[in-house]
Amino acid sequence: MTPARDDSPLAAEYVMGLLDAEARAEAERRIASDADFARQVETWRARFSPLDDTAEEIVPAHDLWQRIEGSLSKEAPVAQVPAVGMIGRFWRSVAALRIATLGSTLVAALLAVVAVVTLQHAQQVAARKPIYVAILIDDATRQAGAVVNAFADGRVEMIPLVDMNVPQGRALQVWTLWNREIGPRSVGLLSRARATQLDLEKLPGTTADQLFEITLEPAGGSPTGRPTGPILYKGTTTRAL
Amino acid sequence: MTVAPASSGDSDHSLTAEAEISAAVVRCASGDRLALRIIYDREAARMIGVAMRILRRKDLAEEATHEAFLRIWRSAQSFDPARGTARAWLFAIVRNQALTSLRNEQRFDAETLDESHEPDLTAAVSRLPESSALRRCLQQLDTGRRSAIVLAYVHGFSHGELAGRLGVPLGTVKSWVRRGLRSLQECMG
């Protein structure tokens, strides 16, 4: 005889985030298939949710919404429920009108031309403008020390904004961190602050919130392949406007 | 970067907020980008705050919130108002995102952690409204059980981290959590 299983603590531990990866995946499968378990999860969420409102409100970076919108635009359109309401009806009636007036073949041809022109324009702009920018800042003084620009074609440049003091026998080393499991990778070594192309060719494409930092290392670079000296400036990439 | 402390529950206000957020999530499901912006304007600051307690770095907390908004947009159709409140759904998404980021994170360097967000054993409970059943029930628990549950939910501590922080063996911490949850369940009905 099997005793009745009491899943309530399991549901609570799922909500709290205490389950290991395997148990978590199993709990997620059960939420999808077991209405009773799903209800227990919802009950615990409701019980704990007052704790969410005890968090302080932290003002988002001024461009966070733009970054979110940027990501949404990059995604393929989600399979949406057809738009209902005024706007949906409006667009459907406009489309019907267009098709009736011009004939669908002509509309399709025009749309194709617009798409090609838009794409070409976007590519031209992308070649001139960085897609990601990181401002590297001195944590102690909050002073900006350098800018990193990443371009659509994979080029990444670092432009110093200040003259960095490099003692004899030392060098500036530039690092990036795009994957926390792999850790920081060296992308440039300089004897003094100057504008330079960073070597990211062997790394995956630069993304948002990728960390760049400049540390002071022995001339010839860090002996360990990891940053060893003090961090002079650091910052993360944000999507350029 | 910190604004007002948590306001406690004026229930009329929170009912209105819930109705607005719920309506906005439903509008997101029909592809209305403005509705997502409404959710952002109302809740993003709190969502970053929730993620910040887990990740203790503002950049990571914003990243988790960023990802959470993409998920809200993509899965708005799966939100079922009959099953739970829209705000609980939103905050479950941002907590999950923050916990995922925490698990993937091998902290790049400890100095980037914001010391002012050092996990505090009592702050969250003392900020719960006096009238809150959760507050009353948490206060009835032994200190160890209460701390374990609050640190896990609010700061994303694992069993191992709880054992380290509370200075007890792993088995003890697991049983504190289980027994604490059992008591909470009885107390909250």
Residues A176, A208, single domain; the answer is yes
**Banded pLDDT at A87 (limits 50, 70, 90):** very low
Q: Smallest Cα–Cα separation from B66: which of B25, B36, B94, B28?
A: B94
**CB pair distance less than 8 Å for A54 and B156:** no
A55 in contact with chain B, both atoms CB, cutoff 8 A: yes
**Banded pLDDT at A112 (limits 50, 70, 90):** low
Residues A114, A26, single domain; the answer is no
pLDDT tops 90 at residue A62: yes
Higher pLDDT, B35 or A123: B35
Report residue B162 as tokens. Answer: 């709880």
Nearest neighbour of B91 by CB, restricted to A8, A17, A49: A49
Max CA pair span of chain A: 78
Nearest neighbour of A81 by CB, restricted to B77, B129, B158: B77
Give the pLDDT score at A89. Answer: 46
The model's pTM is 0.59
Q: Smallest Cα–Cα separation from B145: which of B110, B112, B183, B111?
A: B183
Residues A124, A140, single domain; the answer is no
Tokens 């209105």: give the residue: B16
pLDDT tops 80 at residue A232: yes
Tell me if A13 is assigned to some domain. yes
Tell me if A38 is assigned to some domain. yes
DSSP string, chain B: -B-SPPPP--HHHHHHHHHHHHHHHHHHHTT-HHHHHHHHHHHHHHHHHHHHHHH--HHHHHHHHHHHHHHHHHHGGG--TTTS-HHHHHHHHHHHHHHHHHHH---S-GGGS-GGG---SSHHHHHS-TT-HHHHHHHTS-HHHHHHHHHHHHH---HHHHHHHHTS-HHHHHHHHHHHHHHHHHHH-
Encode pLDDT of B3-51 as tens digits: 444 444 445 567 777 888 998 998 998 889 999 999 999 999 999 999 9
Give the pLDDT score at A6. Answer: 80
Report residue B98 as tokens. Answer: 């923050």
Residues A28, A114, single domain; the answer is no
Tell me if A151 is assigned to some domain. yes
**Banded pLDDT at B120 (limits 50, 70, 90):** confident
Which range, A92-101, A112-121, A200-209, B47-56, is most confident? Answer: B47-56
Residues A156, A107, single domain; the answer is no
Give the pLDDT score at A162. Answer: 78
Residues A136, A188, single domain; the answer is yes
**Banded pLDDT at A125 (limits 50, 70, 90):** very low
**Banded pLDDT at B184 (limits 50, 70, 90):** very high
Please give the share of chain A, as a percent, with pLDDT higher than 90.
Answer: 26
Q: Does domain B119-189 have CATH number 1.10.10.10?
A: yes
Q: Smallest Cα–Cα separation from B7: which of A55, A58, A49, A46?
A: A55
Tokens 């990740």: give the residue: B55
Tell me if A169 is assigned to some domain. yes
Give the pLDDT score at B110. Answer: 47
Q: Smallest Cα–Cα separation from B184: which of A176, A15, A81?
A: A15
Give the domain-ending residue among A67, A94, A128: A128
Give the pLDDT score at B118. Answer: 64
Residues A134, A234, single domain; the answer is yes
Burial B36-55 (b: 16+ CB within 10 A, else e): bbbbbebbbbbbbbbbbbbb
Residues A114, A148, single domain; the answer is no
Answer whether B30's CB lies under 8 Å from B87's CB: no
Mean per-residue pLDDT, A224-241 = 85
* Lowest-pLDDT range of A45-54, A106-115, A172-181, B68-77: A106-115
A38 in contact with chain B, both atoms CB, cutoff 8 A: yes
Locate the domains of chain B by residue range: 11-111, 119-189
Residues A145, A175, single domain; the answer is yes
Axis crossing angle, helix B33-55 with helix B86-104, rounded to the nearest 10:
50
Give the pLDDT score at B128. Answer: 93
User: B11-111 has which CATH code?
Assistant: 1.10.1740.10
Encode pLDDT of A195-217 as tens digits: 888 888 777 788 888 899 999 88
A66 in contact with chain B, both atoms CB, cutoff 8 A: no
Tell me if A59 is assigned to some domain. no
Mean per-residue pLDDT, A169-188 = 86
Higher pLDDT, A229 or B92: B92
What does chain A come to in residues? 241
A31 in contact with chain B, both atoms CB, cutoff 8 A: no
**CB pair distance less than 8 Å for A50 and B182:** no
Mean per-residue pLDDT, A39-49 = 94
A32 in contact with chain B, both atoms CB, cutoff 8 A: no
**CB pair distance less than 8 Å for A58 and B48:** yes
Q: How many CB pairs under 8 A join A and B?
A: 176
For B59, what's the count of Cα atoms within 13 Å in the CB-facing half-sphere?
15
Return residues 2-61 of B near A (CB < 8 Å): 2-9, 29-33, 36-37, 40, 44-46, 48-50, 52-53, 58-59, 61
A26 in contact with chain B, both atoms CB, cutoff 8 A: no
Mean per-residue pLDDT, B174-180 = 96
**CB pair distance less than 8 Å for B134 and A15:** no
Residues A148, A216, single domain; the answer is yes
Tell me if A162 is assigned to some domain. yes
- Identify the closest residue of chain A to B175 by CA–CA distance: A9
Tell me if A196 is assigned to some domain. yes
**Which positions in chain A touch B125 (Cβ < 8 Å)?**
54
Nearest neighbour of A71 by CB, restricted to B32, B58, B66: B66
Nearest neighbour of A177 by CB, restricted to B66, B69, B108: B108
Give CA–CA dist A213/A232, Å, rounded: 7
Q: How far is A198 from chain B (nearest CA, A)?
A: 21
Nearest neighbour of B181 by CB, restricted to A9, A60, A82: A9
pLDDT tops 60 at residue A114: no
Give CA–CA dist B145/B178, Å, rounded: 9
What does chain B come to in residues? 189
Say how many domains are in chain A: 3
Give CA–CA dist B189/B180, Å, rounded: 14
Tell me if A60 is assigned to some domain. no
Looking at this predicted complex, what is its ipTM?
0.89
Q: Smallest Cα–Cα separation from B52: which of B3, B119, B108, B7?
A: B119
Continuous segment of H or E residues that includes residue A35: helix A35-52
* Lowest-pLDDT range of A58-72, A86-100, B109-123: A86-100
B62 in contact with chain A, both atoms CB, cutoff 8 A: yes
Q: Domain range spanning residue A175?
A: 130-239
Encode pLDDT of B67-104 as tens digits: 999 999 999 988 888 788 899 999 999 999 999 998 87
Give the pLDDT score at A1. Answer: 40
CB atoms within 10 A of CB B29: 18
A68 in contact with chain B, both atoms CB, cutoff 8 A: yes
**Which positions in chain A touch B52 (Cβ < 8 Å)?**
55-56, 58
Q: Smallest Cα–Cα separation from A56: which of B3, B93, B27, B140?
A: B3
For A46, what's the count of Cα atoms within 13 Å in the CB-facing half-sphere?
16
Residues A45, A146, single domain; the answer is no
Residues A26, A101, single domain; the answer is no
Give the pLDDT score at A81. Answer: 41
